[in-house]
Chains A and B, each alone.
Chain A
Amino acid sequence: MDETLRTDLRTRVEELLAEHDPATTGPLEFLRARFDAGLAWVHFPGGLGGLGLPRRHQPFVAELLAAAGAPDRDRRRLTIGLGMAAPTILAYGTEEQQRRFLRPLWTGEEVWCQLFSEPGAGSDLAAVATRASRDGDTWVVNGQKVWTSVAHKARWGMLLARTDPAVPKHAGLTYFLCDMTAPGVEVRPLRQLTGEAEFDEVFLSDVRIPDAHRVGAAGEGWRVAHATLMNERIALGDLAPPRESGMIGVVAGTWRDRPDLRTPGLHAKLLWLWAEAEAARLTGLRLHQKLESDHPGPEGSAVKLALARLAQQLSGLELELLGADGLRYADWTMTQPDLVELTGGDAGYRYLRAKGNSIEGGTSEILRNIIAERVLGLPREPRADSGVAGQEPAR
């Protein structure tokens, strides 16, 4: 059965290449044509860049196109849009929203950011205080968001705001798509421990959002945001990353390049972390094989938990391995990068940046609660705020 499917996919790829020769077609034009041919993400529905196939067929299409020298986007710039905005819009967006947003999101014409966290709403995300008040066909938004990765590059933001302060806090939230160029949106860099400002603070003052950019019903924002977060927590990007992807590849590379640094004690540590990293890779692979749809469950939390810890331990080990060179740091100058580079920079940068891995997208402590409660069925944490109206969220 798969063989017929593969033949069909091969034909579609050949047709695309014949009609839009990558040698003579501009990259954006080609990517738009690829989207329209259903070869962007085959597991998306027809007409929205896909063919409604199981997602395991996507790597095959990607391989054929790469072999033909077709242009591709820099996926690293699009992590938030591809990994979080797209599945959320697909699951909860209107047909009009799907047609408007998914194509430029996928081609990379429009970069996305996530306007969730606030100074008073971190792990307790449902405590968001940013207000959206209805005014005819638009909503008027006021508030402050924080830890917004690359907001300074984003065209659109996924916004969680409070629309009904009179009901308990989870019930009073609504999910919007926010135009980052709209009047009243102010993005300020937020410098972090690495020296640069990959994050921003976003201030929203009387920002007007059309009701057509609401995702899900008013008051349904918590459920929609949940879909975004669950997608954030599964390993993003490659369905089948090769062995030694990510931080283990960097450290193993240093080990191979620098025989002068090797010691028995560091060797033992490295080998155990290599085994753990390979175990985490296979766990992610198995999780993806299990995923029949684009709605990952709480199991994905375990992979994020493991990868965060491993990135921290491995980047820490690399500094120890480098010894004297581990005391050098490339540059403390404040810059605003285009993308979040988890394995880029020098060893010192990697060590510092990796500290964020167990905080961003759900702290490791919250993820353990999620596994304990939703996978193992253990009792929920006692809450001091249940039934309290969102107007004065208990923090």
Chain B
Amino acid sequence: MNSRAQGADLDLLYSDVEDALRESVRALLSSRCTAQQVTTVYDGGGPGGRLWRSLAVDLELAGLLVPEEHGGAGASAREAAVVLEELGRFVAPVPFLTSSVISVSAALAAGDGTVTARLASGEWTGALAVPLTTGPASFTPAVRVDADGTLRGRVAVVAGAIEADVLLVPAATAAGTELHLVMADDPGIRITPVVSLDMTRQVADLELSGAASRRLLDSSTGETAVRGALRLGAALLASEQVGVADSCLQLTVDYLRQRRQFGRVVAGFQAVKHRLADLWAQVESARAVARYAAAAAGDPDLPVAASLAQAYCSEVAVLAAEECVQLHGGIGMTWEYPAHLYLKRAKADQLALGNAAAHLTHLAELVNLPSG
């Protein structure tokens, strides 16, 4: 066991730069991504593409993690984490996580300047063609490279594929996993939108049959790049979950401070106060864990930080959303009140990028707590 005081040298607070970034993202989302606007995605509408263009291009978030020499902002995972907190707070239906974090990470590993530059500028939106449930430790490719060099296979529930211009497809060969670039409008690929539990991050089933591709990574490095992208995604998804949880807590506190029953404010009942106090404590713990995961992005402890983040923060976000529904009473069950947006996002996020059990199993190996 490593005896170093992990985290002691990493700043777990928010810097001034991060606070400023948060303000600009929040200002845009406050006007362009209200709960009412988001709710319409369940009926086929929503702020979708135009909102994403504003975030990706006007606020230059698409290239946040891309180094400046490839046309990006050269920011760190900490800034991307703050963006994700805000996107979670508003349950924003935009592909920042799938394109600007996970796809960018894979493209950077591939060292392909053209792909990263186009993802950075927002000209392309990308998606990694793996099921959203895939964690860094559980990845196996579902697509194979055929004898004629084209790609074939089915990949279920891929997030970000509907919005994508390009797909980064991990594909099996006899020698191992390669990474391929496929244009989303290639005639050899069919992208079928799925009616999703969380329509604010709608998933799609992919079928590749003779899809033309360009190989970005060969079998010696493909798998490492895919796992690395999923690991960074898992580490930063935790910040989205903190945003979701924080928003649920705030919504609930605000509501219960004005809701009256039995001639009293409901927030004054001790049974309610203690539940909210416990929830606040857990949200603050989730924040510390998520901040650590973001700060550890370049640290050897990242695998532990990322798995801890998903094991812990995914549970706290679900708890916060469930408490939000319950403590609101009847209004929490309605379509017009936003609690359900958070509940659906929190539950889908819990299954995303490896569930808590998978991450705990992975942690057991990493921290030497063997099962038998």
Contact = CB atoms under 8 A, between A and B. Distances in A.
Contacts of A306: 281, 285
Given A279-B289, A368-B278, A243 B2 contact: yes
A279 B278 contact: no
Given A242-B4, A274-B363, A279-B285, A302 B12 contact: no
Contacts of B288: 279, 282-283, 285-286
B50 interface: no
Contact of A376 (B13, B277, B370): B277
Q: With a 10 A CB-CB cut-off, give which of A238, A280, A368, A369 has the most chain B CB atoms.
A: A368
Interface residues of B, number: 47
A272 interface: yes
B8 A285 contact: yes
Interface in A279-296: 279-283, 285-286, 289-290
A186 interface: no
A373 B253 CA distance: 12
Contact of B369 (A240, A242, A270): A270
A265 to B, nearest CB: 11
A203 interface: no
Interface in A248-269: 252, 255-256, 259, 262, 264, 267-268
Interface string B7-24: 110011100000000000
Interface in A133-158: none
A323 interface: no
A206 interface: no
A276 B312 contact: yes
Given A372-B273, A378-B257, A282 B285 contact: yes
B74 interface: no
Interface string B347-372: 00000000001001101100111111
Nearest to A253: B1
Interface string A88-131: 00000000000000000000000000000000000000000000
Main SS class of interface, B: helix
Contact of A275 (B4, B8, B276, B308): B308
Given A282-B12, A283-B288, A368 B311 contact: no
Contacts of B364: 267, 271
B277 A368 contact: yes
B8 A240 contact: yes
B12 A289 contact: yes
B5 A243 contact: yes
Nearest to A270: B369
Given A243-B2, A369-B273, A371-B281, A264 B12 contact: no
Contacts of A279: 285-286, 288-289, 308, 312
A271 B277 contact: no
Interface in B253-305: 253, 256-257, 265, 267-268, 270, 273-274, 276-278, 280-281, 284-289, 291-292
Interface string A351-381: 0000000000000010111011101111101
A267 B371 contact: yes
B281 A241 contact: no
A278 interface: yes
Given A243-B6, A302-B280, A286 B368 contact: no
Q: Give the size range of A's interface with the partner.
A: 35 or more
Contacts of A267: 364, 369, 371-372
Contacts of A365: 274
Nearest to B313: A279
B31 interface: no
A286 B12 CA distance: 6
Nearest to B311: A275
A36 interface: no
A289 B11 CA distance: 8
A285 B12 contact: yes
Contacts of A373: 273
A368 B308 contact: no
Contacts of A196: none
B114 interface: no
Nearest to A239: B8
Contacts of B370: 259, 262
B287 A378 contact: no
19 contacts: A240-B8, A241-B5, A242-B3, A244-B1, A255-B369, A256-B369, A267-B364, A267-B372, A271-B360, A272-B311, A276-B312, A282-B7, A282-B291, A286-B13, A286-B288, A299-B284, A376-B277, A378-B253, A378-B267
Given A283-B289, A367-B277, 16 more contacts: A242-B4, A243-B2, A243-B5, A243-B367, A244-B1, A270-B369, A274-B367, A282-B7, A289-B13, A302-B280, A306-B281, A369-B270, A369-B277, A376-B276, A378-B253, A379-B265
Closest 4 interchain pairs by CB?
A: A240-B8, A379-B268, A372-B273, A302-B281
